[in-house]
Amino acid sequence: MPRIVIASEAGACYGVNRALELVRKAAANARGPIHTLGPLIHNPKVVGELEASGVSVASAPDQYDGGTLVLRTHGVTPAEEELARSSAEAVLDATCPFVVRAHRAAETLTNEGYDVLVFGEPGHPEVLGTLGHAPGATVVQAPEDLEGLRLKRRVGLVVQTTQSRARLRELVSALIGRVDEVRVMDTICEATSRRQAAAARLAAEADVMVVVGGRVSANTCRLAQICLGSCSRVHHIEDADELQGSWFAGAQTIGVTAGASTPQDQIDHVVRTIGALTGGSVAESVPAAESDD
């Protein structure tokens, strides 16, 4: 009988829980329509549940006139926020506090004259929002992206909250020697770092890893990548319905982790389903490693 182990740090973070509480309270009390500017979080199931409760998704700040507009957890640009406040009757800011910190860091570096680089995924809503606070900044994803860039003598680096510090160190190392000064604003979310460390520790002991969360969720995809570093059988799913019994053939230890946009009830459903498919039982969580990678 296999044991099912849940990572000691997994699932919805403070920023996500805060946003969900804010929106659900607004939906219960709002007299008019309520919309979120883009998906509130990168979890299709939760977004679908919100839509069923009357909270629709707006693709642009002025898509709907009136009503209540909620700024997503990933944040928006200053221009989008200004347009939202001029179009909606009420605006609720559900931006994660750690994302706000990245925005402030980008503004500081810009105001102090640094050549600003945003370390993150091009096109990701959080990165786009951060770019809005640092006009002229450049997005880089890896040291190779620095090739061909004409950098100023002073470079400032702000980081997407879901990146890993191991990759950040690689980028900083590539910058040293190319410019006179590198100022790093480490805006990685600590909850993200703890989840990554816990996932890495569990994956090293598991025969199979199941990573629960949206496929467009940056932090969930990062967890899957980290797990693949030490476990060859990794399955990234959005919902328990995707689980297949054949995935767990011969497994003695089945690890489960989840992204920061995954509520506890989704994790519980996945664990119960794995138990039903395998006959396994839940064992004690593996503590997070003493690492920041």
Identify whether the C-beta of residue 243 lies closer than 8 Å to the C-beta of residue 270. yes
87 assigned ligand-binding residue: no
162 assigned ligand-binding residue: no
Between CA 40 and CA 286 the distance in angstroms is 31
Identify whether the C-beta of residue 93 lies closer than 8 Å to the C-beta of residue 87. no
Q: How many residues does the chain have?
A: 293
261 assigned ligand-binding residue: yes
77 assigned ligand-binding residue: no
96 assigned ligand-binding residue: yes
Between CA 128 and CA 273 the distance in angstroms is 37
13 assigned ligand-binding residue: yes
Q: Taking the CA of residue 65 as centre, how many other CA atoms within 13 Å lie in the half-sphere pointing to its CB?
A: 0
Q: Which of 126, 147, 284, 290 is catalytic?
A: 126
Could you give phi then psi for residue 183, rounded to 5 degrees? Answer: -110, 120
126 an active-site residue? yes
Residue 79 CB partners (closer than 8 Å, separation 6+): 132
161 assigned ligand-binding residue: yes
221 assigned ligand-binding residue: no
Binding-site residues from annotation: 13, 42, 74, 96, 124, 161, 189, 217, 219, 261
Catalytic residues: 126
Question: What residue numbers does the annotated binding site for dimethylallyl diphosphate cover?
Answer: 42, 74, 124, 217, 219, 261
